[in-house]
A and B are shown apart, each in its own frame.
Chain A
Amino acid sequence: MTTENSTIDFAQFPDAEGHFGPYGGIFAPETLMAALEQLNDEYESVKNDPKFLDELAADLKDYVGRPTPLYYAERWSHELGGAKIYLKREDLNHTGAHKVNNTIGQALLAKRLGKKRIIAETGAGQHGVASATVAARLGLECVVYMGADDVVRQAPNVARMRMLGATVVAVESGSRTLKDALNEAMRDWVTNVDDTFYIIGTVAGPHPYPAMVRDFQAVIGEEARAQCLEKEGKLPDALVACVGGGSNAIGLFHKFLADDSVKIYGVEPAGHGLETGQHAAPLCKGTPGVLHGNRTYLMQDENGQILGTHSISAGLDYPGVGPEHAWLKDIGRVNYVAIDDEEAMQGFRDLTRFEGIIPALESSHAIAYATKLAPTMSKDQVIIVNLSGRGDKDMNTVCQIEGIEF
């Protein structure tokens, strides 16, 4: 079906109830419905409002530091001996990842709705930091839910959140990772719905979150498209981004979906290997189901119980994925592939040594896939890799693996 993408109007998705084909929707307890409707109404009323968009653009420019550069990784590209690789430098955003693009937008909504308190879930801690940051800036109370295991492996980000005045709650239930943090944040929201705004960090959850977070992240692809046209005089031949929940990937991909000539690769974490079952790659190995308010591909057993996941990167360690990705997989517009922990570590080393850029372990999955893809392409072809975040937060994990004393 890939030849027919130009006939799909991607801007028309999701529908009014949040459906991307059979995926998405609002599968939420009744206790959350009113809050979701209020959020949807507010978002619909501002998303084309020039005043809101101007305010957002000003914040992205002066507070976040956008536009981020599209950087030609020349030495690394030569080393690989194939396509020219450009990095979309989301790692240079304030707070160190793409996550802040979204929290800035949702914080503006929280302010308009008069909410006094912000809650968020976080895996790697990047979304937690980005939420704590906007909360500090607006003088709002902030509570971040984080799986107890992730609190340990992403300690630097936990310290940053606390320094910013947020309360970090270590979630001990279930598998003690991102999915459990999301459950706990939902429970908080149900209980404190009157004064609390829930900033979801990825393109999952009940409608309108997948659409709204995508819209806030789409600035990545919008800039990258213009920057590539300016530098290369043409569109890229391929896009590569890592996919956990999938917000940085959708952010890069969205403005290119209708461009048939652009091949798109979403990279899931294969953990210890797709064949081991210890991974977090629902698009490669999962089946459709319903979790956290939307229908999408999930890692689940034959009884419909959600499986524990494994990835070296906390930010990708999630058994579901945004519903738009599920749909893009089914219609064949995006190729979903997987990179295991070791390959991701090699990607991490490569970018660090060849370009002097230390990538987040999440982004290292995209880097690693580009090292496979680039040599198969010709020197006049162009790949854009989304460098979604910087690796400072991963020093604990990496030093342990590399035997470096921290």
Chain B
Amino acid sequence: MSRISQRLESLKSAGKTALVPYITAGDPRPSATVSLMHLLVEKGADMIELGVPFSDPMADGPVIQKAVERALEHNVSMNDVFEMVREFREKDAETPIILMGYLNPVERMGFESFANAASSVGVDAVLTVDMPPQESMGYFDALKAHNLDRIFLISPTTPNSRLRAVNEKGSGFVYYVSLKGVTGSKELDVDDVAKQLQRMQGEVELPFGIGFGIRNGETAAAMSKQGSAVIVGSALVSLIEANHDKDLYEIELAIGEKMNEFRHAIDKADAE
């Protein structure tokens, strides 16, 4: 069983929901990332989603676009991201890491080289936004061969036929995009999410992580009642943006405070 599945199982048996924060690798500068990752864990992250910068992040809203631009000003490459994960693993062998990104930097490296390198530095899973299950071309097989979980996005508009394809190719958990839009979009509708999840859980056996549009403790708490994991991205990254030219200490203060808000709200909801 993968590190992600184990983590989700043990949280489930303890009646808890996973908190999964997202940051972009190299934002606001490469030297900050590993330190921020350890802070996220200290503040209650059960897994970390680490964004791999790509010049054309088609599915991301302005907050993450700017994060990517900040990282790319430092020319952060896939190998740099691997180096960050390797360094993180020196002090943390437990917290699962999910790489989230777009296909082109992976394809440029080669599927096998990418999967091999990711696995050897201690990455647990990969979410490739613009690689749907039907295109594959050996990519998902390469990930599987290196024991990397394959995380897929599903959305309110995903029909049952593709849910079954995700169920077959995916592993670890599925990432439910809780609203129509890019990352960091408008408020989400809790009742609508509940209704959609009911349909989807009939087709997909994997645990559900819920993301997009979770901004504060209140929405995080509401979503924790629906899924096994709550994923928060733009809410954190916007704090990096606001403090990007300040000392790491200031950035960590802001991120830590927001993480506390999410963690407490989720724990409270789990205890109810």
Q: With the chains together, A190 CA to B181 CA distance in Å? A: 5
> Are A28 and B157 neighbours in the complex by a CB distance under 8 Å?
no
- List B residues 59-103 near A (Cβ within 8 Å): 59-62, 65, 69, 72, 75, 77-78, 102-103
A298 within 8 A of B: yes
> CB within 8 A of A303: which of B108, B131, B158?
B108
A30-B155, A191-B182 known; A173-B130 Cβ under 8 A: no
Q: With the chains together, A302 CA to B109 CA distance in Å? A: 8
B142 within 8 A of A: no
Chain B residues packing against A (C-beta within 8 Å): 53-62, 65, 69, 72, 75, 77-78, 102-109, 129-132, 134-135, 152-155, 157-159, 162, 177, 180-182, 185
Q: With the chains together, A293 CA to B180 CA distance in Å? A: 18
Q: What chain A residues lie within 8 Å of B53 (beta carbons)?
A: 305
Q: What chain B residues lie within 8 Å of A179 (beta carbons)?
A: 56
Instruction: Give the number of chain A interface residues (Cβ < 8 Å).
Output: 36
> Are B56 and A291 neighbours in the complex by a CB distance under 8 Å?
yes
> Are B131 and A30 neighbours in the complex by a CB distance under 8 Å?
no
Q: With the chains together, A303 CA to B26 CA distance in Å? A: 15
Q: What chain B residues lie within 8 Å of A298 (beta carbons)?
A: 104
A190-B180, A306-B104 known; A33-B131 Cβ under 8 A: no
Task: Please give me the residue from chain A that is nearest to B212 by CB atom.
Answer: A31
> Are B130 and A305 neighbours in the complex by a CB distance under 8 Å?
no
> Are B104 and A29 neighbours in the complex by a CB distance under 8 Å?
no
CB distance from A136 to the nearest CB of B (A): 27
Tell which of B56, B57, B75 has the most Cβ of chain A within 10 Å. Answer: B56
> CB within 8 A of B106: which of A29, A187, A191, A304?
A304
Q: Which 4 A-B pairs have the closest CB atoms?
A: A304-B108, A34-B157, A304-B105, A191-B181
A290-B130, A304-B104 known; A29-B58 Cβ under 8 A: yes
Q: With the chains together, A376 CA to B152 CA distance in Å? A: 55
CB distance from B172 to the nearest CB of A (A): 16
> Are B54 and A290 neighbours in the complex by a CB distance under 8 Å?
no
Q: With the chains together, A159 CA to B182 CA distance in Å? A: 30
Task: Please give me the residue from chain B that is nearest to A19 by CB atom.
Answer: B135
CB distance from B131 to the nearest CB of A (A): 6
> Are A28 and B132 neighbours in the complex by a CB distance under 8 Å?
yes
Q: With the chains together, A81 CA to B265 CA distance in Å? A: 80
> Are B56 and A30 neighbours in the complex by a CB distance under 8 Å?
no
CB distance from A33 to the nearest CB of B (A): 7
Task: Please give me the residue from chain B that is nearest to A17 by CB atom.
Answer: B134
> CB within 8 A of B159: which of A17, A34, A303?
A34
Q: With the chains together, A302 CA to B55 CA distance in Å? A: 13
Q: What chain B residues lie within 8 Å of A190 (beta carbons)?
A: 59, 180-182
Tell which of A25, A28, A174, A187 has the most Cβ of chain B within 10 Å. Answer: A187
A29-B59, A174-B55, A290-B107 known; A193-B180 Cβ under 8 A: yes
> Are B180 and A292 neighbours in the complex by a CB distance under 8 Å?
no
Q: With the chains together, A31 CA to B157 CA distance in Å? A: 7
> Are B58 and A30 neighbours in the complex by a CB distance under 8 Å?
no
> CB within 8 A of B55: which of A28, A33, A306?
A306
> Are A30 and B177 neighbours in the complex by a CB distance under 8 Å?
yes
User: Can you name 4 extra interface pairs (CB under 8 A) apart from A26-B132, A30-B162, A290-B107?
Assistant: A31-B177, A187-B58, A191-B182, A303-B78
CB distance from B214 to the nearest CB of A (A): 16
Tell which of B54, B65, B157 has the most Cβ of chain A within 10 Å. Answer: B157
Q: What chain A residues lie within 8 Å of B181 (beta carbons)?
A: 31, 190-191
> CB within 8 A of B72: which of A27, A289, A305?
A305
